[in-house]
């Protein structure tokens, strides 16, 4: 059994910290996964580093977990709406590829980023497109139970039939029915009602389409998560996670349809955990609003993915985090110092649970005090910044023996996942210098710089500025000197 502090998690359902104990032997954990219609951006990394931290916390407490992360490859319409085009179909048309190619390409990109960030793989990554017959069966049952109504545009869930609709979002349901959502759906009875099935319009054949009792079409976005989580984790499970944006709409609708489907009067999922957003200059980063930085952009600038992970863990998952390059660079400097300090302590033991840590600590009181500190931090709603602080302190503490330090580093890293036992100093050394670039990269940069010089000669300042900012995005800074332009890596 577990020892140490009771794990407490902030449950969005009720908006308070609660003791977490698994309802059965193992915890079912479902995290809303990526919509694979473009590259995942830096903000999209946060929910999975957060759910990975949660998994490490549960492992620390000796609680086994089954983790499911879905891949949304159909059903998610632009602007999260019921009537818009499917995001993947729009991307396929834009990129002149098939929807399957789009899904495969961006799913691969997601997995690559997860691996680079040392996020432990989930047990299952079900794609929505593989569960459409189950979704149709689920919606049919809701129809049989009287929770739905048909319109020419599809099958809709009647939210007025769902007692407690919107509790998760603290929605004033009357208020919501009157106002807010702007999308106009012909015949929809209440503004909060949502599509379970989107029937295709006559003359507008969808690319991804299935036959159903409501005509040819595709499932509504919310359906996949209810259906796939229940299929893989059972009707009821312990924890559902996602970004804070899902607390207002997607998760509200998942709960409404799932509780209607089950009809057993029990809450569908006990704990709902949401990570706050990563923002740039105070505004939300969104894939839909144009190019946004990706992990690969940071790597191209010499930032190691573990430095970005450290940057994320340096903030609590429930606080907004402001992305700045300076912040990520300072995380990389911290990581570099940590690696340099830890290297003489290697090899580190593998210590993943509190129980194992206790037995290794023996009766060393200083090591035990640090273990208590770290345990208290992870137990208090996953306070990763405090674990980092304890780790730093332990490495400076003359009262802690070398084997004590080895143990504390191993424990902190089992929770933080920074690969402190194996990272090489040269991997986190920092930015590349021009000498590290390939001949191809150099000639590409020089061609762009020459184009800018030409634009300036032609007094086309807008174009010259445009090229300069494109170069800056690639980490190249151009300076005009009396001898002509020179460039360097930022």
Q: Choosing among Zn ion, ligand AMP, none, which partner's interface includes residue 225 (Cβ < 5 to 8 Å by kind)?
A: Zn ion
Q: Does 44 bind ligand AMP (CB under 6 A)?
A: yes
Q: Choosing among ligand AMP, Zn ion, none, which partner's interface includes residue 47 (Cβ < 5 to 8 Å by kind)?
A: ligand AMP
Q: Choosing among ligand AMP, Zn ion, none, which partner's interface includes residue 355 (Cβ < 5 to 8 Å by kind)?
A: none
Q: Does 245 bind ligand AMP (CB under 6 A)?
A: yes
Smallest gap from residue 242 Cβ to ligand AMP (A): 4
Q: Does 35 bind ligand AMP (CB under 6 A)?
A: yes
Smallest gap from residue 186 Cβ to ligand AMP (A): 27
Q: Does 47 bind ligand AMP (CB under 6 A)?
A: yes
What sign results for the dihedral spanned by CA atoms 330, 334, 337, 339?
negative
User: Could you tell me which stretch among 130-138, 150-158, 277-285, 471-479 binds ligand AMP (CB under 6 A)?
Assistant: 277-285
Q: Among candidates 333, 349, 447, which has minimal Cα distance to 392?
A: 333
Q: Does 32 bind Zn ion (CB under 5 A)?
A: yes
Smallest gap from residue 17 Cβ to Zn ion (A): 24
Binding residues for ligand AMP restricted to 256-275, rule: CB under 6 A:
275
User: Could you tell me which stretch among 184-192, 196-204, 223-231, 360-368 binds Zn ion (CB under 5 A)?
Assistant: 223-231
Q: Does 34 bind ligand AMP (CB under 6 A)?
A: yes
Smallest gap from residue 382 Cβ to ligand AMP (A): 15
Helix 402-416 and helix 354-361, axial crossing angle in degrees, nearest 10? 180
Q: Does 117 bind Zn ion (CB under 5 A)?
A: no
Q: Does 278 bind ligand AMP (CB under 6 A)?
A: yes
Binding residues for ligand AMP restricted to 279-318, rule: CB under 6 A:
284-285, 287
Tell me which of 10, 28, 30, 46 binds ligand AMP, using CB under 6 A. Answer: 46
Smallest gap from residue 250 Cβ to ligand AMP (A): 8
User: Could you tell me which stretch among 19-27, 31-39, 253-261, 410-418 binds ligand AMP (CB under 6 A)?
Assistant: 31-39
Residue (225 or 391) nearer to Zn ion, CB: 225
Q: Choosing among Zn ion, ligand AMP, none, which partner's interface includes residue 46 (Cβ < 5 to 8 Å by kind)?
A: ligand AMP
In sequence order, what are the beta bridge partners of 148?
A: 157
Whole-angstrom CA distances from 259 to 72, 155, 161, 227, 264 are 22, 18, 11, 12, 7
Whole-angstrom CA distances from 106 to 20, 112, 169 are 35, 10, 30
Residue nearest to ligand AMP (CB): 243
User: Could you tell me which stretch among 180-188, 221-229, 294-302, 464-472 binds Zn ion (CB under 5 A)?
Assistant: 221-229
Tell me which of 277, 311, 317, 370 binds ligand AMP, using CB under 6 A. Answer: 277
Q: Does 32 bind ligand AMP (CB under 6 A)?
A: yes
Do residues 192 and 159 touch, judged by C-beta distance below 8 A?
yes
Site string for ligand AMP, 190-229 (x = CB under 6 A): ----------------------------------------
User: Could you tell me which stretch among 30-38, 120-128, 364-372, 393-401 binds ligand AMP (CB under 6 A)?
Assistant: 30-38
**Three-state secondary structure string covering the chain:** CCCCCCCEEEECCCCEEEECCCCCCCEEEEECCCECCCCCCHHHHHHHHHHHHHHHHHHHCCCCEEEEECEECCCCEHHHCCCCCEHHHHHHHHHCCCHHHHHHHHHHHHHHHHHHCCCCCCCECCEHHHHHHHHHHHHHHHHHCCCEEEECCEEEECHHHCCCCCCCCCCCHHHHHHCCCCCCCCCCCCCCCEEEEEECCCCCCCCCCECCCCCCEEECCCHHHHHHHHHHHCCCEEEEEEEHHHHCCHHHHHHHHHHHHHCCCCCCEEEEEEECCEEECCEECCHHHCCCCCHHHHHHCCCCHHHHHHHHHCCCCCCCEECCHHHHHHHHHHHHHHHHHHHHHCCCCCCCCHHHHHHHHCCCHHHHHHHHHHHHHHHECCCHHHHHHHHHHHHHCCCCCHHHHHHHHHHHHHHHCCCCCCCCHHHHCCCCCHHHCCHHHHHHHHHHHHHHHHHHHCCCHHHHHHHHHHHHHCCEEEEEECCEEEEEEC
Q: Choosing among Zn ion, ligand AMP, none, which partner's interface includes residue 215 (Cβ < 5 to 8 Å by kind)?
A: none
Tell me which of 246, 270, 309, 406 binds ligand AMP, using CB under 6 A. Answer: 246
Q: Does 225 bind Zn ion (CB under 5 A)?
A: yes
Binding residues for ligand AMP restricted to 69-98, rule: CB under 6 A:
72
Site residues, Zn ion (CB under 5 A): 32, 225
Task: Name the residues that contact ligand AMP, by CB under 6 A.
Answer: 32, 34-35, 43-44, 46-47, 72, 242-243, 245-246, 275, 277-278, 284-285, 287
């Amino acid at each position: 059994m577990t020892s140490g502090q009771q794990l407490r998690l902030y449950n969005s359902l009720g908006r308070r910290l609660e003791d977490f104990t698994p309802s059965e032997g193992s915890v079912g954990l479902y995290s809303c996964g990526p919509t694979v219609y473009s590259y995942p951006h830096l903000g999209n990394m946060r929910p999975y580093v957060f759910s990975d931290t949660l998994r490490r916390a549960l492992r620390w407490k000796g609680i086994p977990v089954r983790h499911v992360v879905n891949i949304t490859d159909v059903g998610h319409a632009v602007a999260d709406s019921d009537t818009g085009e499917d995001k993947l179909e729009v991307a396929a048309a834009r990129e002149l590829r098939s929807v399957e190619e789009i899904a495969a390409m961006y799913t691969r990109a997601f997995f690559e980023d997860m691996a680079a960030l040392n996020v432990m793989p989930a047990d299952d990554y079900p794609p929505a497109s593989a569960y459409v017959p189950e979704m149709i069966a689920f919606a049919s049952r809701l129809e049989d139970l009287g929770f739905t109504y048909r319109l020419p545009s599809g099958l809709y869930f009647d939210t007025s039939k769902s007692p407690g609709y919107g509790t998760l979002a603290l929605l004033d349901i009357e208020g919501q029915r009157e106002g807010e959502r702007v999308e106009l759906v012909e015949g929809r009875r209440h503004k909060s009602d949502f599509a379970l099935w989107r029937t295709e319009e006559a003359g507008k054949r969808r690319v991804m389409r299935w036959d159903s009792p409501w005509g040819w079409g595709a499932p509504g976005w919310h359906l996949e998560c209810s259906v796939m989580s229940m299929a893989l984790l059972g009707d009821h499970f312990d924890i559902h996670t996602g970004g804070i944006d899902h607390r207002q709409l997607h998760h509200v609708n998942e709960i409404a349809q799932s509780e209607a489907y089950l009809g057993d009067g029990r809450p569908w999922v006990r704990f709902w955990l949401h990570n706050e957003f990563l923002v740039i200059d105070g505004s939300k980063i969104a894939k839909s609003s144009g190019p946004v930085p990706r992990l690969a952009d940071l790597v191209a600038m010499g930032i190691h993915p573990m430095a970005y992970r450290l940057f994320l863990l340096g903030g609590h998952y429930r606080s907004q985090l402001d992305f700045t390059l300076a912040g990520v660079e300072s995380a990389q400097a911290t990581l570099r110092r940590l690696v340099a300090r830890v290297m003489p302590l290697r090899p580190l033991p593998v210590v993943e649970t509190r129980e194992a840590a206790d037995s290794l600590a023996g009766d060393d009181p200083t090591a035990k005090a640090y273990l208590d500190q770290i345990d208290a931090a992870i137990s208090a709603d996953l306070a990763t910044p405090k674990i980092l602080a304890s780790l730093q302190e332990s490495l400076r503490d003359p009262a802690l023996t070398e084997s004590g330090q080895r143990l504390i580093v191993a424990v902190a890293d089992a929770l933080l996942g920074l690969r402190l036992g194996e990272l090489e100093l040269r991997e986190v050394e920092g930015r590349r210098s021009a000498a590290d670039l390939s001949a191809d990269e150099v000639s590409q940069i020089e061609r762009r710089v020459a184009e800018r010089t030409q634009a300036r000669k032609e007094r086309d300042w807008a174009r010259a500025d445009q090229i300069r900012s494109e170069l800056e995005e690639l980490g190249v800074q151009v300076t005009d000197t009396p001898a002509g332009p020179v460039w360097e890596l930022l």
